[in-house]
Amino acid sequence: MNRGNLLYEGKAKRVYQTDREDQVWVEYKDDATAFNGEKKAVIDRKGEWNNRISAVFFHYLKERGVANHFIRLLSSREQLVKHVSIIPLEVVVRNRAAGTLVKRLGLEAGQVFPQPVVEFYYKDDALGDPLINEDHIRLLNLATPERVEEMKQTALTVNQLLTELLEQHQITLVDFKLEFGVDASGQLLLADEISPDTCRFWDSRTGKVMDKDRFRRDLGDVEEAYQEIWNRLGGEAHV
Ligand code: UDP
């Protein structure tokens, strides 16, 4: 497999063409951004941990029947994935109160929900990725109601499966964000990344924050926390 032209460069990843129309080459960068790009830094080896952790999650989910874009790791910071057209929605699942929800609804941080909360955000930098509902999604023609339901059910399944896996490693899955794409045949595939950049992970015993909040809130030791997630998931055993 050869790396071709750069197709797209985002905040955290570069996507390249390959010899095959239906596959793309993804490179994870060390660049970190938060608050809609207002806060920026380079975190040494972040790209490597996110690439490896995301690969473990996608592989685990595929084995359990969740269709997704992941094919294989190419190197410590690169992976091969199926070429999809990304639906411009972020699907967020929450098990506990954290982040923007605490402010929006006046909740107590860390409060455990009786059942998971699912939200949709419209991926649009100029609008600041607003929270939207299913009627807005239909209005903007972003996805059919059936597709929205499929994404919601898949997100809840992912929540169950990842919660189970992470609990085994004393990690609490507080919340996370998913993105979906559609392949050339019209199949819905879970895509993008699942990593400490896109999830909130708390140490189940101590409550220690082990995700991007360490960067957002200037808690320090960001790289160490990401590496610790990788180590707990089995680290080198996956390579
Ligand atoms: N999230 C993300 N990308 C975004 C917004 C949120 O990956 O553009 C993730 C975030 O890391 C967290 C979850 O989605 O795990 C819920 O985030 P929230 O809405 O609380 O926003 P935040 O406070 O993270 O900006």
**pLDDT value at position 101?**
97
Q: What's the pTM value of the predicted model, to 2 decimals?
A: 0.96
* Alpha carbon nearest to ligand 1 atom 24, residue: 99
Locate all alpha helices (DSSP H) within 168-238, ordered by sequence: 213-216, 222-232
Express each pLDDT in 48-64 by its tens digit: 999 999 999 999 999 99
Phi first, then psi: give them for residue 221, nearest 5 degrees. 50, 45
CATH 1.20.120.450, domain 6-82, yes or no: no
pLDDT band at 36 (very low <50, low <70, confident <90, very high): confident
**pLDDT value at position 196?**
98
Q: Percent of the chain having pLDDT more than 90?
A: 97
Kindly give the distance from the C-alpha atom of residue 217 to the centroid of ligand 1, in angstroms, as a whole number. Answer: 13
**b/e per residue 145-165 (b: at least 16 CB within 10 A):** eebbeebbebbeebbebbbeb
| Interatomic CA distance for residues 142 and 145, integer angstroms | 10
pLDDT band at 236 (very low <50, low <70, confident <90, very high): confident
Structural domain boundaries in the chain: 6-82, 85-221
The residues with which 81 forms a beta bridge, in sequence order, are 24, 70
pLDDT above 70 (res 140) = yes
pLDDT above 80 (res 239) = no
Architecture per CATH, domain 85-221, reads as: 2-Layer Sandwich (3.30)
Same CATH fold, 85-221 and 6-82?
no
For the chain, what is the largest distance between any 2 Cα atoms, rounded to a whole number of angstroms? 51
Kindly give the distance from the C-alpha atom of residue 176 to the centroid of ligand 1, in angstroms, as a whole number. Answer: 7
pLDDT above 80 (res 238) = no
Mutate to test the pocket of ligand 1, among 36, 54, 86, 100 (most ligand atoms within 8 A of CB): 100
